[in-house]
Amino acid sequence: GPRMRWRLLWLLCAVAWWGAGGKTLRGGFASAAARLEPWRPVARFQFHGDHAILCVRINNVAVAVTKEARLHLFKAQEWQKLQNGIQQHSCTEKFTKAQLTMTVNHTEQNLTVSQIPYPETWYVFYVDKFTCEENYSESEDIQFEMVLLNPDAEGNPLDHFSAGESGLHEFFFLLVLAYFLTACIYAQSLWQTIKKRGPMHTVLKVLSVALLLQAGSAFANYLHFSSYSKDGIGAPFMGSLAELCDIVSQIQMLYLLLSLCMGWTIGRMKKSYSRPLQWDSTPTSTGIAVAVVVTQSFLLIWEQFEDTNHHSYHSHHGLASGLLIGLRVCLALSLAAGLYQIITVERSTLKREFYITFAKACILWFLCHPCLATISVIFREYQREKIITIGVILCQCISMVILYRLFLSHSLYWEVSSLSSVTLPLTVSSGHKNRHHF
């Protein structure tokens, strides 16, 4: 009901604030932390090109010199080999195998990372004379600011984006522009259609809210990346808002598609064939829809805590992300099976075409993420996140366009057919058409 929906929204708001990554890092190099977790990097970045730079500024040179402070840079693959190798290396030996080392002994220092054949992830570790020693005395932390930069189009080290993020700023600009132009062309006619309160009124309204949330997410991402391109920090609030809008949009669409399919399936089992599309709000249909929505909401929230550095929900690392992909595959298969049963016994060619098109939109919406996550494995690491993020957004936009065309183009059919008297999807009954299940 409404209360559950608002509680879920507040929970998602709280989770969206969890963690914000940036490539301008500020903090303190602490000897105690380096001793406790020497294998935990202070930064990760995907360098590319010949003139990438790591710039470090510190405010207490004397303490850094006394502690013999250093930064060790490892290629991610080389570091993993050291960690997983059969040969055991001591703490000191591991750090001597670093690809690059910088002694931190000036207020501001630059380290050039050059001759990179292809973009790859690098780890930055802080090490001092206490890191690998048993004896340790309390010492002052070294306050620092670290800026990680890749070369821009002219070859100057001014680009805050890692190789895995390059191009996303331009993509979200084009996406926002496309949303704006589409709104200018179609918004008025769509609003007039919704105001008529025809048989597809509720479906179009829910679909439009989901589309507005997707557009809001794209705009917030664009603002975040615009700020990020200038300072390497971005606008954490906008990044969090983009994730929140995306998550709520996913939940809206899941409930809409699931409700329609459940209503049709249950309606076919219980009602006469003259009214096969009735949304019959039985405890069974409502219970199944709510259970799946709550499950996806839980997994989306869990994913936010599990991986705080990814953009929106398109990451595919960790248990929560794996379960989300599994859930989407199961939903696509179950909805396809349910719609196939309806299509095989449907005699009307017009209705059959409607169901087939709807099935295509559903399968595209649910399977695009699992399919792209699987396909991305054949690409290099820095390309995977971009392929998934851009691919999922474009596929889900196409799915929404298919659904809009389907429900708008069949509006006349719905109004003149015997189905025009059926209860609307997501409503309680024919006599309470304005009461929604949200």
pLDDT at position 34: 79
How many residues are listed for the chain in this entry? 438
Q: What percentage of the chain has pLDDT greater than the value 90?
A: 24
Spatial CA neighbour of 257 closest among 224, 221, 293: 293
The confidence band for 306, taking pLDDT boundaries of 50, 70 and 90, is low
Which residues, other chains included, contact 38 with Cβ-Cβ below 8 Å and sequence gap of 6+?
91, 125, 127, 131, 132
pLDDT confidence tier of residue 309, bands split at 50, 70 and 90: low
Q: What angle do CA 425, 194, 422 make, to 5 degrees?
A: 30
Q: Burial level of 126, CB count in 10 A (0-12/13-18/19+)? A: buried
H/E run at residue 76: helix 76-84
pLDDT tens for 142-154 read 899 999 989 888 8
For residue range 190-243, what is the model confidence (pLDDT) as tens digits?
888 888 876 677 788 889 999 999 999 999 999 999 998 888 888 888 888 998
Which of 47-51, 133-137, 182-186, 424-428: highest mean pLDDT?
Answer: 182-186
Residue 71 in this model has a pLDDT that exceeds 80: yes
**Which region among 30-44, 272-286, 307-321, 369-383 has the lowest average model confidence (pLDDT)?**
272-286
Q: 418 — phi, psi (to 5°)?
A: -70, -10
Which residue, 355, 367, 331, is CA-closest to 410?
Answer: 355
Give me the residue label for tokens 């207490």: 60
Model pLDDT for residues 36-57, shown as the tens digit of each residue = 787 888 888 988 888 899 999 9
| H-only helix segments in 232-317 | 236-270, 283-306
Distances (CA, A) of 316 to 13, 134, 208, 370: 22, 39, 28, 9
One-letter amino acid identity for 25? L
Q: Where are the beta strands (DSSP E) in 108-172?
A: 108-113, 120-127, 142-151, 157-159
pLDDT above 70 (res 81): yes
Q: What's the predicted TM-score (pTM) here?
A: 0.78
- Comparing 2-11, 86-95, 280-289, 384-393, which segment has the lowest mean pLDDT? 2-11
Confidence of residue 177 (pLDDT cuts 50, 70, 90): very high
- Helix pair angle (236-270, 283-306), 10° resolution: 160
Burial 316-353 (b: 16+ CB within 10 A, else e): beeebbebbbebbeebbebbbebbeebbeebeeeebee
Q: Specify the pLDDT at position 402.
A: 92
Beta-bridge mates of residue 125: 72
User: What single-letter amino acid sits at 131?
Assistant: T
Task: Decide which of 284 and 221 is more confident.
Answer: 221
Residues whose CB falls within 8 Å of the CB of residue 315, separated by 6 or more in sequence, listed in order:
303, 307, 321, 385, 388
Query: How confident is the prediction for the chain on average, in pLDDT?
Result: 78
Residue type present at position 417: S
